[in-house]
Structure 1
Amino acid sequence: MTMPSASESISPVEAVRHFNRFYTHQIGVLHEGILKSSFSLTEARVMFELSTRQDSTATELANTLSLDMGYLSRILRNLQKRGLIDKQPSATDGRQSILTLTEQGHSAFATLNACSRNEIEAMLHPLAPTEQTRLVKAMQTIEGLLGSPAKPEVPYILRSHQPGDMGWVIHRHGVLYAEEYGWDETFEALVANIAAQFIQDYDPKRERCWIAERDGEVVGSVFLVKQSDDVAKLRLLIVDPKARGLGIGKRLVAECIRFARQVGYSKITLWTNSTLLAARHIYENAGFRLVHEEEQHSFGSDWVAETWDLEL
């Protein structure tokens, strides 16, 4: 498929239609399953939107994706039947249901997201860096001219953990706590032990790790692990400085609370320290209450350890 030469007469309408045919073929939109999966393009877009939102209704999804409500309802029923989404009555509007991805849904979306990255990387690989820059700028020009300036860009997505994520968690904790609080490498060793234990003893029915990703780069994480049959423990909440201010920390904690309630825990507990003011603010706003304080000397510093609990 070749574009007519400059000497040939072609209208703007035909030029756009030609480009549409080229690009839909390039990215495989016409295939029955997007990214060689069992999902249609629309199903994948619905799962993407749910992965980026704390709470969403069918009406909000229909408006965001410009979908007919009847068509969207059929898609949602199919995804629910496959165990990928969960519907709960809205606490503020009895006519609406809150839609969220289930654990299986998060896992399926993480696979789709990874496949999408791999496919785009393969498409870009033959191009030299300067050609990649030209391509991205051309795409940004198209998006800027045709897109609605009033519609905000989705700032990040949440997904389940994948191979390699634990290395990021350990590294960023070690670097950031050294830079911001002066903690030594013994704290990084503690984080490494926690991450290793999570992988070795992982119970997917009652435990979860959420990874925040922005523009293909990991920028945050949190863990919810089983402490007892009734109590879950929130661990290793971190947001990279470059992504702070986007509400990622608040969203990660909210996902922990939602999941803990969903699987039947009666309480979430967490351990933090008095100098982590932003995290303490998130915990307090989410309903956690400070239940214990103790002075500590560890990780090369003096600080006050705190235990916070949330009754579910």
Structure 2
Amino acid sequence: MTAQPLPEAPSGALEVRHDGPVAWVVLDRPDRRNALSPAMWAALPELLRGLDADPQVRVIGLRGAGGVFSAGADIAEVFECLGEPGTGLPRGGLLTEAEAALAGVHKPTVAALEGYCMGGAWMLAGACDLRIGTTSLRIGLTPARIGIVFPASGVEALVRLVGPGTASYLLLTGDTVPAADAERWGMLTRVVDDAGFETALAEVVTGLAQRSQLSMQAHKHLLRLAPEAAPGTLGADEVSEALFRQVLDGPDARIGQQAFLAKKAPRFAWAGEGFWAARSGAAGAGKEHRASIIRGRWPRRAPRS
């Protein structure tokens, strides 16, 4: 595994560790249980877009350093993280931008969850396709314990994932829940014994790296559209039709067919970067970057003595 350190933020850093076709984004601030500073939140979208466009990367993973996923947004700087551009209202700000960037990644994404996953860190985990947790993991959505409001985008995503009843329990009580409950409610894809966590995690990401990128990325696109699609219309949009066309015109279906008939493991070739680049257009043009927060609306914390 090779590590690619990124420029350090004043408090905390992100690091990309490459393990063959798997790129792990590591939240590295162990002295604060990997709580994310504003600079760390702000750096995530561009970092994720770069990995998504890298043809050498087939799977993107997210994890924390030192056996802990993350304590969420740094409470000492939480006001600077949540404010949205233009109004300064605490609707999500940098957290929502990072969540949206992760949810918008075309390649498969995996959250490796151990120790604690608290507050805003859950927004990152919830935006991943798969969430693998240890039996000792604890998850807590704790804004009610400190008098703030969970980002609106995070509430919306949570309700889609677990339903309004469980979302109400998590947000109103602020309780920290064990992995077994989180798995039962649909927050976790799989729970693994702590001792076997790294082995199980490697099996998951290695398996994903061997699958067809065309199949996985097309399924991700359809899954995003499915909740809002009218009956019988899913897959009729322009991008879906282009992806279905790739089954006929691209290499993967033939590679898979021939490998199946020959009883060999397929080595898929479709990468997808050119496909999405041709359709990106000006999707992000004109959007004000979330880092431009109106901080003057926020109360400033007292200086440390």
Range class of TM-score, shorter chain: under 0.3
Q: Kindly indicate whether structure 1 or structure 2 has the higher relative contact order, using CA contacts under 8 Å at least 6 residues apart.
A: 2
TM-score, normalised with respect to structure 1: 0.26
- TM value normalised by structure 2: 0.26
Q: Which has the higher strand share?
A: 1
